[in-house]
Structure 1
Amino acid sequence: MTNPNAFILRAEQIAADQQSFSHPWNSNSELSGTQLGRKVGLQRTGVNFIRVPPGKESFIYHSHHAND
């Protein structure tokens, strides 16, 4: 049986793995966050905790034509 506590993350764990990144085509893009799904062992679903600072943008304008 799976340990139910394996799916609980503390704020310190999330902050420790935080990464910053930006989109190369948008100079105003700035994000920082953690891939929560990977931390709890998810393999086919992505769950992310992302912060975008005030005055910044996430990525370039885009749209999705299909679901993954």
Structure 2
Amino acid sequence: MSMAPRWQKSSYCMNESDCVELARLLPDTIGLRDSKRGQGGPVLAFSAPGFESLITRIKRGEFDRH
């Protein structure tokens, strides 16, 4: 029997209802979704190294609007 992923909101969201949520989908797969879309919304799936790379690039500001 497969367990449903346990989604967790970002700590930056505080009490906001619309936020980013993360869950471990498989031992080496991280899911990312928009909380306002909920259960039926799309999920981006990353390998653990791919997710770490994404976070590093976000922290560097590589996706900031100029």
Do the two structures share a fold, i.e. TM-score over 0.5? no
* Greater percentage in strand: 2
Where on the TM-score scale, by shorter chain, does this alignment land: which range?
0.3 to 0.5
The structure that has the greater radius of gyration is 1
- Structure with the bigger percentage of helix: 2
